[in-house]
Structure 1
Amino acid sequence: MSRVVVVAGATSGIGRATARAFAERGDRLVLAARAPQTLAEVREECAGVEALTVPTDVTEPGALEALAEATIERFGRIDVWVHTAAVMAYGRFDELPERVFEQVVRTDLLAAAGAARVALRHFRATGAGTLILTGSVLGHITAPYMSAYVASKWGLQGLARTLQQELRDSPDIRLCLVNPGSVDTPVYQQAANYLGQVGRPPPPVAGPQRVARAIVDCVDRPRREVSVGRLNVVLRAGFTVLPGVYDVLVGPLMRLAGLSGRPVGAHDGTVFAPNPAGESVRGGHLPDLRQLVSGPVGAVGAALRRRFG
């Protein structure tokens, strides 16, 4: 039996990959994000399953309640709620405009809390459901120039743990927190920037499809927390066990691996408004394996098969 899945933040990066992954399972979808035109594109990508698009700014009062109501009106229930909506900002804390800092926190933490409130109220009324929140390895460690994002993800980590404790009396209601490390999504280019350099995900970088698979797997095998990233455990250990060493190294490593060196003027990115032209599954930080297979690597493979096959 297909599930009814709400995906908030469905037009780009992890959210868009997640929508596709649920569509491949045959689940019915409710796709929510700020840009109506991009939502229509994602619905086309999920052809073959019933999908409802609901333009939604998760920071607007009442928007998440309206999203839930639209879902129930169309499908009669909500089985899974996935919250991936997030924005990012680069800049020294004292140089980042207060309005930008607060909007990042409003989007990445308070809207996630709002989604949890709406989803859990529905799940308690029906007796079952799965809520999946998207955190970050930066909910366990810190990095300079990303204060608003880090503060939001630390807050989300604490919120998720608290809600999991409160749900111990409801075993059929599951809350999972998926914490990616660096992921090849457009969020870095789309971020607000008051640092003067374009950001990028430090290596090793995972594909958004890998995170999407972890999210989908949580529906079948719910876990309290899932880490996606080869260095996540190492980073957390260094941050906890050797905090002095971590603090000495993290600044130079961030400037070397987390910033591209490309100059950019101060701007708000997508913190306050979407940029449909910049929305996609991938951010261009990893090679497209399909192109490699059909390009030079594929040609080499074909030649070897002809020679030795």
Structure 2
Amino acid sequence: MSITLVTGASSGIGLAVARLAATRGDHVVLVARDRESLDVAASGCARLGAASTMLLPLDVGDDDAVRDGIGAVLDRHGQLDTVIHCAGVVALGRTESLPPEIFEGVLRTNLLGSVNVARQVVPVLRRRGSGTLVLVGSALGHITAPSMSPYVISKWGVRALAYQLRLENRDRPDVAIVYVAPAGVDTPIYRHAASVIGHEGRPPPPVSSPERTARQILRRVDRGRGRPQLSLAGEVIRLGHALPLLHDRVVAPILGFLLTDLTRPVDPHPGNVLTSMRGENAMRGGRGNAALGVVRNLAVRITRRGRGTATSSDPEPPRTSP
């Protein structure tokens, strides 16, 4: 039975991966910041058939905590087979408009958290001579997108980290560094995002489910390889960025419109960037119907234009430049 550690295991993709690993009879180690959320997630994994569950309530941005957590896993199980790093947070806003602590918080969790996990896990896998580390990036780690500055920067960094780790571990062919870049997935990450743009965010269409994404990730683990993009949409987004003029004039405005939920206005808030959402165990974010989301955004935009109440923070609907 495999020893599988999952970060971000209390919600979204991480929770879906942990539950799927449980159905395979793995020993599942669940990592997230909030103990209450982990308790609920672990109970679900136990019901699904996990050989055992172990909880590590810690912040992946804290290198000492990650080191101690990995040490506790080795003390209990003696080894690690697979680590799937899903933990991540989002902040919505331009580079200069986000508070420094929010901007840094996203980088700390998404990028430095990935580095911390890799620094503690890779030596364990190398000593054993085998095992898999999965770094979950994003299609937004291959492009740029309006109002997603720290997230985009951090996910570009995760992609660079994955390629660097592959280079550094070529002398251990049975140590697999797997990088995946999901596109739009219906998780709570956008609902929990910090925001200074006046609205909540939403995943870009077409939107996949966390369960489907989890299946794709574990297939990559079984194969030890695979293309980073998990969908055709991810490939299209990536290729669009390869043509800068097309991306800046066409793709980016479309993304800015699709990544914002105009039907959910909010005051500026830190979301879950600095602290966890206690007791929040949703796998999905309630943003799965992408077409309906686009229609609602258009309706809000048209209504505001008719009333003359559109604000500068509202993203423009997709249009092309002449």
| 2-structure distance, mates of 1:45, 1:213 | 17
More displaced stretch, 80-89 vs 57-66 = 57-66
State the Cα distance separating 1:208 from its structure 2 match.
Answer: 0.6
CA shift digits 1:24-66 (9 cap, x unpaired): 1111011110111110111111113211111111112401111
Measure, in 2, the Cα distance between the counterparts of 1:169 and 1:61. Answer: 26
Residue 40 of structure 2 aligns with an amino acid whose one-letter code is E
* SS of aligned partner of 2:71: helix
Segments of structure 1 that go 5 or more residues without pairing to the other structure are: 288-309
| Segments of 4+ moved more than 4 angstroms | none
Q: Does the 8 Å CA contact 1:186/1:279 hold for their aligned counterparts? A: no
CA distance in 2 between partners of 1:106 and 1:225 (Å): 26
| 1:143 matched to 2:145 | yes
Following TM superposition, by how much is the alpha carbon of 1:230 offset from its aligned partner in structure 2, in angstroms? 2.7
Match of 1:199 among 194, 198, 201: 201
CA drift of 1:176 comes to: 0.1
Aligned positions of 1:21-60 closer than 5 A: 21-47=20-46, 48-49=49-50, 50-60=52-62
Deviation readout 1:202-225 (Å, 9 max, x if unpaired): 210000111111221122101164
- Tell me the distance in 1 between the aligned counterparts of 2:18 and 2:280: 18
Partner of residue 260, structure 2: 259
Residues matched between the structures, number: 285
Equivalent residue runs for 1:9-158 within 5 Å: 9-47=8-46, 48-49=49-50, 50-158=52-160
The aligned runs of 1:187-226 (5 Å cut-off) are 187-223=189-225, 225-226=227-228
Q: % of aligned pairs identical? A: 42
SS in 2 for 1:20: helix
Counterparts of 1:1-16 in structure 2 under 5 Å? Answer: 2-16=1-15
- 1-structure distance, mates of 2:256, 2:279: 28
> 1:184–1:286: 8 Å Cα contact kept in structure 2?
yes
> Could you report, residue by residue, the CA deviation over 1:163-214 in whole angstroms, capped at 9, with x for unpaired residues?
1111111011000001100000000010000111110012100001111112
Q: Counterpart of 1:150 in 2: which secondary structure? A: helix
**1:244 paired residue number:** 245
Please say if residues 176 and 225 of structure 1, whose CA atoms lie closer than 8 Å, have aligned partners that are also in contact.
Answer: no
- Secondary structure in 2 matching 1:117: helix
TM-score normalised to structure 2 length: 0.86
> For the residues of structure 2 that align with 1:123 and 1:255, how far apart are their CA atoms?
40
Deviations 1:200-258 (A, max 9, x none): 01210000111111221122101164311231111111110x21121012343134311
CA distance in 1, matches of 2:154, 2:163: 14
- Greater per-residue helix proportion: 1
Query: For 1:134 and 1:232, how far apart are their aligned partners in 2?
Result: 14
Contact 1:204 1:230 in 2 (8 A): no
**Matches of 2:229 and 2:278 in 1, distance apart?**
29
* Amino acid in the other structure paired with 1:195: I
Letter in 1 for 2:109: T
